[in-house]
Amino acid sequence: MRATAVARTRTTRTLEAVGELNRSCAECGAEAVATIEHRHTFRYGSGESAADLTVNLPVRRCGKCGFEFLDRDSERIKLEAICQHLGILSPAGIQRIRESHGMTQAEFAKVTGLGTATLVRWENGSMNHTRAYDRYIRLLAKPEIMQQLRRLAEPAGPGRDLGNGEERRWRVLRVTDSYRTIRFDLRRSRSAAVRGTRGASQVRRPVEPRRPSVARVESF
């Protein structure tokens, strides 16, 4: 388990523990860890766009050595606050949309055109997505849009169940391919005929031996 010591700066701790956990201390290994809520304020961004975000973090405190630390739950809460500040879906929100269609990460990436590695990073919070992708993912929550994407992801072929418009386009493509095949066969036949004609007309004639030239000497 990844543990981070609690920073004392800009943190206000409540006085009551909100739950006992069956886990060991990251410092001494004792299984006497309780959860305490800390109201924590952290700064996100830099320059004029920087903002102070306040969240309630579940801090783990060891009852034996008094060591306090944060785990993945605190990281997830901070990341959700950042996504809410940016106005984009959280990693859990992206995962809920994918799971609402009953699809794995590989299947969802194939249908939507997203990269599988990119989708994994979005869902585990290691990388934030842009606003453009956020709008695209929100549209994917609608079943009718996902149904259209599923049909587009299917391989095209004669056995595919197509609508009237797509069937007409497929028929045109088949006719076009047949026409191109016929034209190619005609061109190939013509080329063969031309080569045969040229071969018949260009028969090599036997070369006659040249007679030696005799110099004529005139007497004066």
Determine, yes or no, domain membership for 135: yes
pLDDT given for residue 8 in this prediction: 44
Q: Are residues 101 and 56 in the same domain?
A: no
The model's confidence at residue 189, banded by pLDDT at 50, 70 and 90, is low
**155 or 178: which leads in pLDDT:** 155
Q: Count of domains in the chain?
A: 2
Kindly report the CATH number assigned to the domain that includes residue 136.
1.10.260
Domain stop point among 24, 47, 74: 74
Structure tokens at 14: 């409540």
Residue 175 has pLDDT above 80, yes or no: no
Q: Are residues 55 and 99 in the same domain?
A: no
Residue 43 has pLDDT above 70, yes or no: yes
Determine, yes or no, domain membership for 219: no
The model's confidence at residue 55, banded by pLDDT at 50, 70 and 90, is very high
What are the strands of the beta sheet with 4-5, ordered from one edge?
4-5, 68-70, 51-62, 33-44, 11-21
As a whole number of Å, the end-to-end CA separation of the chain is 125
- Give the whole-angstrom CA distance, residue 212 versus residue 193: 43
pLDDT given for residue 220 in this prediction: 44
pLDDT given for residue 10 in this prediction: 40
- Give the whole-angstrom CA distance, residue 4 versus residue 60: 10
Q: Are residues 102 and 129 in the same domain?
A: yes
Q: Are residues 63 and 118 in the same domain?
A: no
Domain stop point among 39, 74, 109: 74
Determine, yes or no, domain membership for 177: no
pLDDT given for residue 114 in this prediction: 94
Determine, yes or no, domain membership for 82: no
pLDDT digits (tens, 9 = 90+) for 2-42: 555 555 434 434 333 444 455 788 788 888 888 889 899 99
Determine, yes or no, domain membership for 66: yes
- Range in 122-131, 137-146, 186-195 with the lowest mean pLDDT: 186-195
pLDDT given for residue 202 in this prediction: 56
pLDDT given for residue 86 in this prediction: 94
Residue 119's domain spans which residues? 91-153
Residue 138 has pLDDT above 90, yes or no: yes
Q: Please, which residues have CB within 8 angstroms of residue 64's CB and are 6 or more apart in sequence?
A: 25, 28, 30, 32
Determine, yes or no, domain membership for 84: no
Residue 162: what residue type? L
Smallest Cα–Cα separation from 125: which of 73, 66, 182, 52? 73
Determine, yes or no, domain membership for 36: yes
Q: Are residues 105 and 143 in the same domain?
A: yes
Q: Are residues 43 and 68 in the same domain?
A: yes
- Cα angle 42, 45, 48 (rounded to 5 degrees) comes to 115
Count of other CB atoms within 10 angstroms of residue 65: 13
Residue 164 has pLDDT above 70, yes or no: no
Flag whether the pTM goes above 0.85.
no
- Give the whole-angstrom CA distance, residue 95 versus residue 76: 14
Domain stop point among 45, 74, 103: 74
SS (H, E, C) the chain: CCCEECCCCCEEEEEEEEEEECCCCCCCCCCCEEEEEEEEEEEECCHHHCEEEEEEEEEEEECCCCCEEECHHHHHHHHHHHHHHHCCCCHHHHHHHHHHCCCCHHHHHHHHCCCHHHHHHHHHCCCCCCHHHHHHHHHCCCHHHHHHHHHHHCCCCCCCCCCHHHHHHHHHHHHHHHHHHHHHHHHHHHHHHHHHHHHHHCCCCCCCCCCCCCCCCCCC
Q: Are residues 100 and 135 in the same domain?
A: yes
The mean pLDDT of 41-56, rounded to a whole number, is 93
Determine, yes or no, domain membership for 143: yes
**97 or 174: which leads in pLDDT:** 97
